Structure 1
Amino acid sequence: MSRAMEDYIAAIWRLTLHGGTASTGAVARRLGVSPASTSYMFRKLAEAGLVDHKEYAGATLTPAGERAAAGYIRRHRLTERFLVDILGIPWDQVDAITDQMEHALPDVVVDRIDDVLGHPRTCPHGYPIPDRSGNVDEIAVRPLTELRPGETAVVARVAEHDPQLLAHLGDLGLFPRTEVQVLARDRVGDTYRIRVGNREHVVGRAVAAAVYVADA
């Protein structure tokens, strides 16, 4: 499978993890390519038996496509975990570095990384790592914007594709497994006053919406 095909099936996997189909536009936006290129790749993936694709209806993964995508996602997220936990690379830099490394890593290396790390369940940004059989251990999450003033929760995951945003979230201490409390909301300015550890911050909606929490 080519690198481009892996990128596409991974995008479809992420967009359809909870059901539905991945539209041409959604996949194109996620990968930063044109809709025409995406339509062409959908047809190519369908010919390879990896996706079911109907014109104007988007794409879903076949069982073979799901297995391949889960393996790719597993490789990506374990590599990110290795870069952060073992090499100390900042979490806002590992996505781009992993994109350069992951396609060359054989399964035996990925499995060894998993063993060395003690079989982590999530990537540094909080997203679940599929196991060797492709199973995913999901938990119920909601955006921080849904918390009521006075409510406390635990950061489960954060939006992972904007390095500047990730660096900012790190500066605020909003890492997975960190407790966060919404102290107040200013509906006029659309800002949130939050407590993270012993520090208080005021964040805008864009930042709050990038943080997903689970019950404490």
Structure 2
Amino acid sequence: MDFADIFIHDTTWAFLGEILVRCVMMFAMIILFLRLTGKRGIRQLSIFEVAIILSLGSVAGDPMFTEDLPLVQAFVVMACIITLYRLTTWLMMKNQAFEDLLEGKPLYIVKAGELVLEDVKKGKYSQDEFFAEMRQQNTEHLGQIRVALLESDGKLSILFYPNEEVKYGLPLFPEACSIVKHIEPDAHYACSYCGHVQNIQQARQACTRCECKTWAVAINTARLT
């Protein structure tokens, strides 16, 4: 067995240059596609950790079983990816705008017991997914929440009102959040789309905040801890 064939084979300097170009392009494409999937797609890992896992995992696999793929090519690819990773993280530390461009900014999902509709859409969650996250943090209705923030790593951070300051809010559990068809004079009602609580006279009245016409009975129960 010729050890030169194992490590170098027929690799040329021109092909090594091509590998470097391909690495830069593929690394950029991985970051782009991860950003397009939204925060939900990466969860606890950062975008760059996922990029490294995908890139290095693919690079490490092929040389293991491809006879004419020398190890030097995989080494060059890995070195290039790690260099790009280090460069990118350094740029993010030096430039906040660059970090925001790649990783995104935290998004306000709930403020003062109401959904922040513009940021909810940016977060690429469905409303049910947001509600599921809130329920998992022992939240019964939006009126218990002072602020809910979708972090850049996909986690939902919540600040709650003290129990004595809990407001009327949209219920988060499906059975309690059923759409009303008849209005009771002494009840509070929350818009099923944005969570805004207001007095209404008819079941199909438009919400003054988002113009939705479906309502659920609002509740103001204290949070159980």
Q: Identify the structure with the greater strand proportion.
A: 1
TM-score interval, normalised by the smaller of the two chains: under 0.3
Greater Rg, structure 1 or structure 2? 2
State the TM-score, normalized to the length of structure 2: 0.26
